[in-house]
Structure 1
Amino acid sequence: HEHVKVVGSLNLVQSLLREKLFDRLDLWVHPILLGVGKKVFDGGTVPTNVTLLEPPAAGPKGTVFLRYGLADGTPATGDMSAPGRGV
């Protein structure tokens, strides 16, 4: 199928990430805290290098939509510092 949407099946999401069986990853980040539960990026998850495909979009209640694409190479971390930004 051209479009596969997964809601609630973290086992499938982790398998797709581990095997790099995706072209695009759409992530919706909701500003709620639920406490304990299953983690998307739990211990043993294989690092996957992705790149942001478009600017983040935020909804009026704080939900943020992020669209990533699979990228070559080894994942690296960065920092949030930017010129003119007080930290």
Structure 2
Amino acid sequence: MRWTSALAIYVLFWSFSVFLVLPFGVKTTREVGGEHVPGQAESAPHEFRSGRTAWRVTVVATVLFVLFQLNYSYGWITPLSVDLFDRGNMVTR
């Protein structure tokens, strides 16, 4: 695999990992015991720490990418191993 392809796949893993990491560790103003600001959603985080979130996302994306690379190299899971409809024997024209 070329390094540009690997970089593009890592960026995809990173962007998808944002959605995995964002919900964890968030405390609302009510949970912290702070005063609710009028017009603010009750589910809004009290404090958003972008640095910590970016670090967590990077760790998760790196672990997932390493697993992807190892699977790519060693072929642990292939398309035929997850063929649910037994289409591996079909001849396509």
Q: Which has the larger radius of gyration?
A: 2
Q: Say which structure is richer in helix.
A: 2
Pick the TM interval, shorter chain.
under 0.3
The TM-score normalised by the length of structure 1 is 0.20
